[in-house]
Amino acid sequence: MSLVGKHGYKETAVGWVPEDWRCEQLGGYLTLLTGAPFKSELFSSDGGIPLIRIRDLLRGFSETGYVGEYDDRYLVNAGDVLVGMDGEFHVVRWKGSPALLNQRVLKISEKPGHSDVGFLFFLVASVIGKIQDGISATTVKHLSTKDLQNLTAAIPPLPEQQKIAAVLTAVDGKLDVIARQIEATQALKQGLMQTLFSQGVANWPSVSLQEVAEVRTGVAKGKKGLKEPIELPYLRVANVQDGHIDLTEVKTITVEAAQVGRYALQSGDVLMTEGGDFDKLGRGDVWEGQISPCLHQNHVFAVRPAPSKLNSYYLAALAASDYGRQYFLSCAKRTTNLASINSSQLKAFPVLLPPLDEQVRIADIVAAANARIEILSTKKAHYQTLKRGLMKKLLTGEWRVKLDSPTGTA
């Protein structure tokens, strides 16, 4: 819907907004506090008050404590609005325990009588991209307090700010509930697998993966001089997630027509990633032929079990369990933040091999947990889309909230 020329709206530097809204720099509506340069020699891993650094913003907790003296004004409580001043400029409401505001983290507060801190949280989150776009590309982007203070935005009257914040906060509350449900289901799944496979270590035979499955490597990008080239969809590391295959974005790759059979996936193949973060080793899921034909990249292994010996879904669960991850970590090549395995190490993976009916029973238990996680993830995506739409409509005034006050705007 276009607001251009609409009755009750006016043209401003940020577009058409309601006539009773202001178009001003944010400096008059927020109070900013930058974190203190606490002494690193007083950092502690087992004591003190938590210290909030940029890495802690999204996860909502800190593993670093501070054991020195501090000024109370740097104390952050749950609900306070924080912004990371380097990198992606994440805007969050702190969800952890009381903690200290470290340097390069910014705390945003309202100006009483002029602004609502809940509204400022959503407003800053929506406009911070303008600052990022205006900063030249460097290794790390840096945010200053002036960047925020000088940013021009549409500001509704205080009662409308508060109502907009209440609407959006309600959606955030729903997202928080769903996130906790997903986390609890994932923990339950890991607990179930831990119990099932711990019992199996003592009772089931173990064979190397190559005895009961074929490990297939994928196609490499960038090959030149291809004969009879053909372009087909293929799966990358980004498509292979823990417990599901993400087909949101499937890219294509050019291969020789004669090589399609060599790299094409079959229904029942277990996809595993070659490497990534430590906790990603062994992750994967079963390919069910959602796209045909479909190839796989050389950083994604396709493991093709012998159906009479090994159930694909059981193998995927075993590889993702603590048992599987401990094996992969024990033989992986490691760098500072990453780890990887090669095909020989994967082929040597010691597979716990109960009877097929027991494999199916275990696979069904894990599948039930995965299905619950998938339902919750879909629900989460719905509310995230809803939130984005509401922010766009409410923060521009295209949709007006109904105020409880008789003097409010309908």
Whether residue 327 is found in the same domain as residue 220: yes
On whether residue 11 sits in a domain, the answer given is: no
On whether residue 15 sits in a domain, the answer given is: no
On whether residue 12 sits in a domain, the answer given is: no
* Of 352, 65, 29, nearest in space to 204 by CA: 352
Whether residue 141 is found in the same domain as residue 179: no
In degrees and rounded to multiples of 5, residue 36 shows phi and psi of -90, 150
pLDDT of residue 88: 84
Whether residue 310 is found in the same domain as residue 228: yes
Whether residue 181 is found in the same domain as residue 222: no
On whether residue 13 sits in a domain, the answer given is: no
Q: Which of 311, 334, 353 is the last residue of a domain?
A: 353
Q: How far is CA 90 from the centre of its chain?
A: 13
CATH number for 365? 1.10.287.1120
Say how many domains are in the chain: 3
Cβ-based neighbours of 275, under 8 Å, separated by 6 or more: 281, 299, 332, 333, 338, 339, 340, 341
The boundaries of the domain holding residue 124 are: 22-154
Cβ-based neighbours of 398, under 8 Å, separated by 6 or more: 1, 3, 392
DSSP 11-33: EETTEEEETTSEEEEGGGTEEEE
pLDDT of residue 139: 54
* Of 173, 131, 165, 178, nearest in space to 150 by CA: 131
**42 neighbors 64 (Cβ within 8 angstroms):** no
Q: β-pairing, 229-235 with 295-296? A: parallel
What dihedral do alpha carbons 359, 364, 369, 374 form, nearest 10°?
Answer: 120
Beta strands (DSSP E) in 209-250 are 213-216, 229-235, 240-241, 244-245
CATH number for 127? 3.90.220.20
Amino acid at 152: T
End-to-end CA distance of the chain: 19
Whether residue 182 is found in the same domain as residue 216: no
Whether residue 215 is found in the same domain as residue 181: no
Cβ-based neighbours of 101, under 8 Å, separated by 6 or more: 33, 34, 35, 36, 52, 74, 75, 76, 82, 107
Question: How far, in Å, CA of 161 to CA of 197, rounded?
Answer: 53
Q: Which of 305, 323, 353 is the last residue of a domain?
A: 353
Q: Tokens for 230, please give them.
A: 């053909």
Whether residue 234 is found in the same domain as residue 318: yes
Q: How far is CA 43 from the centre of its chain?
A: 28
Whether residue 60 is found in the same domain as residue 148: yes
Per-position b or e across 183-198, b if 16+ CB within 10 A of its CB: eebbeebeebbeebbe
What dihedral do alpha carbons 86, 89, 91, 96 form, nearest 10°?
Answer: -30
**25 neighbors 149 (Cβ within 8 angstroms):** yes
Whether residue 116 is found in the same domain as residue 179: no
Neighbour count for residue 276 (Cβ, 10 Å): 17
pLDDT of residue 410: 39
**Residues present in the chain in total:** 410
Whole-prediction pTM value? 0.80
Q: Which of 331, 353, 375 is the last residue of a domain?
A: 353
10-residue averages of pLDDT along the chain (410 residues): 82 94 95 95 93 94 94 96 92 95 96 96 90 64 89 95 97 96 92 84 90 94 82 91 87 90 94 77 86 92 96 94 88 75 92 95 91 93 96 95 62
On whether residue 4 sits in a domain, the answer given is: no
Question: How far, in Å, CA of 57 to CA of 312, rounded?
Answer: 38
In degrees and rounded to multiples of 5, residue 127 shows phi and psi of -105, -5
The H or E element spanning position 76 is strand 75-76
On whether residue 97 sits in a domain, the answer given is: yes
Question: How far, in Å, CA of 278 to CA of 170, rounded?
Answer: 35
On whether residue 345 sits in a domain, the answer given is: yes
Q: What is the CA radius of gyration of the chain?
A: 26
On whether residue 5 sits in a domain, the answer given is: no
Amino acid at 313: Y
Whether residue 330 is found in the same domain as residue 307: yes
Whether residue 123 is found in the same domain as residue 178: no
Whether residue 225 is found in the same domain as residue 342: yes
> Is the bond leading into 156 cis (omega within 30 degrees of zero)?
no
pLDDT of residue 24: 94
